[in-house]
Amino acid sequence: MSRWEPDARGRLEQAAMELYSERGFDQTTVAEIAARAGLTERTFFRHYADKREVLFGGSAHLQELLVGAIAGAPEKAAPMDAIGTALDAVAHVFEERRDSVRLRQSIVAAHTELQERELIKMSSLASATAAALRGRGVAEPAASLAAEAGIAVFKIAFERWIGDTARQQPLTSRFRESLDELKAITG
């Protein structure tokens, strides 16, 4: 095999997703993922710590996007408005990959250990969001509360978007809908 491995990471991810949905997550080995991608196990481990991590490769990118958008929101924007701007910024990333996002979600939903890792990633996302808000001068506990509320909005809207097989509403509207609903509940 050549040392030249164009987009090894993407090929491994695609191979893993195919195998997880064909055979199930538990029945798939790293060796099989590497073989399907035409790569070695060693290459796999250069890109991912384990076979769970393949499903969470996007979370660092998501966190960067969210944090960057919060930092870049208009100076006078209130915390929840900065979060709204950030949600808009990440919505298109999910929209563009809708089928793959839905496939991933169905794999995660079927495994307790994957759901647990998802919870951990969401918790990191909330911490990073709170830090980004503090960076804008938002005090505690407002920063942490806004961050947790923002992640709740993200989560609920995301679930509704994933479950909306008729594609009635894009993710951006789901985010807006949930933000408005949260305001109505707490108002």
Decide: 79 and 138 in contact? Cβ < 8 Å: yes
Q: What is the longest distance spanned by two Cα atoms in the chain?
A: 62
- Contact between 144 and a second copy by CB under 8 A: the answer reads yes
Q: Is 91 in the site for a second copy (CB under 8 A)?
A: no
Shortest distance, position 96 Cβ to a second copy, whole Å: 24
Contact between residue 93 and residue 65 where contact means Cβ atoms under 8 Å apart: yes
Distance, CA of 81 to CA of 165 (rounded, Å): 29
Q: Rule CB under 8 A: which of 24-43 touch a second copy?
A: none
In the complex, least distance from residue 163 CB atom to a second copy, rounded to whole angstroms: 10
Interaction between residue 79 and a second copy (CB under 8 A): yes
Binding residue for a second copy (CB under 8 A) from 15, 101, 107, 146?
146
103 touches a second copy by CB under 8 A? no
Q: Residue 86 is which amino acid? A: A
- For residues 141 and 128, what is the distance between their CA atoms, to the nearest angstrom? 14
| Dihedral (Cα; 164, 55, 99, 93), 10-degree rounding | 90
Q: Is 171 in the site for a second copy (CB under 8 A)?
A: no
CA 78 from centroid of its chain's CA atoms: 24
**In the complex, what is the shortest distance from the CB of residue 1 to a second copy, in angstroms, rounded to a whole number?**
36
Q: Which stretch binds a second copy (CB under 8 A): 2-10, 13-21, 100-108, 151-159?
A: 151-159
Determine if 183 is a binding residue for a second copy (CB under 8 A). yes
